[in-house]
């Protein structure tokens, strides 16, 4: 408890020094003898009487970090030298291994691999913990943002070996990653699923997302799009302004998109403005347990106004708003200042009263309880019941529940498939195959449509893939392999397409076996579901 008060007074002292007018109002109710004056006296005593020489700025930084950990899982401190790097996933680009991460208990926790980046290609997963980097321990007091950047970033083409701890596996998993230019476009794919149905996949809400989305929307409309499948699966959020701008494309002028409020933040409403690019037409939004924050703002607003049908699994559950405050030395505190609510009044934040570790272990708990497979395992109390504009029942607390459930396809991603990815078998085969056939493939397939409809791997190529697996000690069970051969070959084809064409091509090739997309198409072909559920068209 002493450490908590110690940390809190540091934070309060620095915030006072930053001269924020809104915060000055709070000093009147604070007793300086037990807060600011107490801590400044402590700093004086330590600096002048402590037995050893100390790095006082570093001591203060540690106290700030400790304080923020005690508040909520999303308030964070960013040192001056890390401010620019922290914004890169939303505004820039860099060369490295391609992961977003958080330092959690002196360990590098992977929040998510950047789609299409080096880590994604070798099978790094959200929730993995990086324990070793090139044989060196990557945990403990020495691990900070600077250490991570120095060891994981580097020039394109250089190699780094990371040791990963993954829950459920007793030994460390080694991954060899070739650094690359990290793609930071927020829009992964946009193409036509059929003559009337378009598909857009957004991986985060970045500064450029609205422009990227508008261009994709216009392109699909020119191709004859009447229906849209908007994929927010795995989208962990981003800028609130980007979420507002994209939601605005679907909602009429004046419709509430989201409102925020907090003890020190008066209610603020964000509404749709002028005519949007897709206010008419059947709209389906795909969400899952990786859809968070801005993704939940958009999907929640569209569900509340009965504008879209939501398909998938319960979203992450982040209903807190962070605001950056610059401290006197140029560092930044991203402080949770308000809660956000969907138009119906839902607050969808999942509980965090059991600590940060339990908060981030929520996905594992969902798996244990069978929630990702059976929707009946999800229970909401009546106190969290709300209603959409047309009277449908929806619930707050712990994420956005979709209108139609699609179970996690665990049969596909079993241990065998995970090991093939982790050991780099897919990448090895694709790289060698393209080294031999790239020129011929470019001559034969001038576009992704030709490739998708006519390219097929030979049995000899599949045998080469198995040979690559054997070289790294993997001997897939023949029966299991036979059952999954079509899926594995589709993944190989998609990876080849991504290399030959672009990221968009990967999703075009895999779409036929995507359960969420197939469910969306099935529903779009049913003339009555939208009417039955009172969804606008």
| Whether residue 459 lies in the annotated active site | no
- Pick the catalytic residue: 120, 304, 468, 514? 304
Q: For residue 164, report the phi and psi dihedrals to the nearest 5 degrees.
A: -110, 135
| Whether residue 82 lies in the annotated active site | no
Whole-angstrom Cα distance, residue 153 to residue 172? 21
- Pick the catalytic residue: 79, 186, 291, 293? 293
For tokens 């209610």, the residue is 267
* DSSP line for 426-465: HHHHHHHHHHHHHHHHHHH-SSHHHHHHH----HHHHHHH
- Which DSSP category does 370 fall into? T
Whole-angstrom Cα distance, residue 199 to residue 138? 40
Number of H helices, E strands in the chain: 20, 21
Whole-angstrom Cα distance, residue 134 to residue 147? 13
Tokens, residue 213? 């989305």
- Note the residue count of the chain: 537
Angle between helix 56-69 and 2-17 (nearest 10): 110
Buried-state track 513-529, b at ≥16 Cβ within 10 A, e below 16: ebebbebbbebbeeeeb
Whole-angstrom Cα distance, residue 204 to residue 216? 15
Coil vs helix vs strand at 501 = coil
Angle between helix 478-500 and 503-510 (nearest 10): 140
Mention every residue, 6+ apart, whose C-beta is less than 8 A from residue 453.
Answer: none
| Whether residue 304 lies in the annotated active site | yes
- Pick the catalytic residue: 318, 423, 484, 493? 318
- List the catalytic residues: 293, 304, 318
């Amino acid at each position: 408890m002493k450490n908590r008060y110690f940390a809190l007074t540091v934070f309060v002292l620095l915030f006072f020094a930053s001269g924020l007018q809104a915060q000055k109002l709070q000093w009147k109710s604070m007793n300086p003898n037990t807060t600011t004056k107490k801590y400044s006296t402590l700093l004086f005593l330590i600096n002048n009487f402590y037995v050893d020489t100390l790095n006082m700025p570093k001591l203060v930084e540690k106290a700030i970090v400790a304080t923020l950990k005690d508040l909520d899982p999303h308030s964070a401190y960013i040192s001056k030298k890390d401010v620019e790097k922290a914004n890169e996933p939303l505004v820039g680009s860099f060369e490295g291994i391609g992961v977003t991460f958080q330092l959690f208990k002196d360990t590098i926790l992977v929040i998510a691999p950047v789609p299409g980046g080096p880590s994604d290609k070798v099978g790094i997963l959200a929730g993995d913990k990086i324990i070793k980097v090139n044989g060196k321990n990557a945990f403990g007091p020495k691990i900070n943002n600077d250490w991570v950047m120095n060891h994981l970033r580097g020039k394109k083409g250089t190699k780094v070996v990371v040791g990963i701890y993954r829950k459920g596996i007793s030994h460390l998993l080694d991954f060899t990653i070739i650094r690359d230019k990290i793609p930071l476009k927020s829009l992964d794919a946009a193409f036509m699923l059929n003559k009337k149905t378009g598909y857009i996949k957004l991986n985060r809400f970045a500064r450029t997302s609205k422009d990227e989305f508008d261009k994709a929307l216009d392109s699909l409309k020119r191709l004859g799009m009447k229906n849209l499948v908007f994929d927010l699966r795995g989208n962990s959020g981003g800028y609130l302004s980007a979420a507002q701008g994209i939601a605005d494309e679907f909602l009429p002028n004046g419709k509430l998109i989201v409102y925020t409020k907090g003890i020190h933040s008066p209610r603020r409403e964000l509404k749709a403005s002028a005519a949007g690019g897709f206010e008419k037409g059947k709209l389906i939004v795909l969400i899952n347990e990786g859809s968070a924050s801005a993704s939940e703002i958009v999907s929640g607003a569209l569900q509340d106004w009965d504008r879209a049908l939501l398909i998938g699994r319960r979203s992450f559950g982040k209903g807190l708003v962070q605001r950056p405050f610059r401290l006197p030395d140029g560092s930044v505190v991203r402080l949770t200042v308000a809660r956000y609510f969907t138009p119906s009044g839902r607050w969808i934040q999942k509980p965090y009263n059991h600590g940060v570790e339990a908060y981030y272990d929520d996905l594992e708990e969902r798996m244990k309880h069978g929630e990702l497979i059976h929707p009946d395992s999800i229970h909401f109390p009546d106190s969290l019941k709300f209603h959409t504009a047309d009277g449908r029942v929806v619930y707050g607390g712990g994420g956005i529940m979709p209108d139609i459930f699609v179970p996690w396809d665990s049969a596909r991603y079993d241990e065998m498939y995970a090991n093939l990815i982790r050991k780099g078998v897919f990448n090895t085969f694709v790289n060698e195959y393209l080294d031999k056939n790239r020129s011929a493939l470019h001559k034969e397939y001038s576009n992704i449509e030709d490739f998708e409809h006519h390219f097929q791997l030979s049995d000899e190529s599949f045998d080469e893939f198995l040979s690559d697996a054997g070289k790294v000690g993997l001997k897939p069970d023949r029966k299991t392999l036979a059952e999954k051969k079509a899926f594995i070959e589709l993944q190989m084809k998609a990876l080849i397409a991504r290399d030959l064409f672009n990221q968009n091509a990967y999703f075009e090739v895999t779409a036929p076996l995507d359960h969420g997309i197939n469910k969306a198409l099935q529903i779009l072909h049913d003339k009555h579901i939208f009417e039955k559920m009172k969804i606008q068209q």
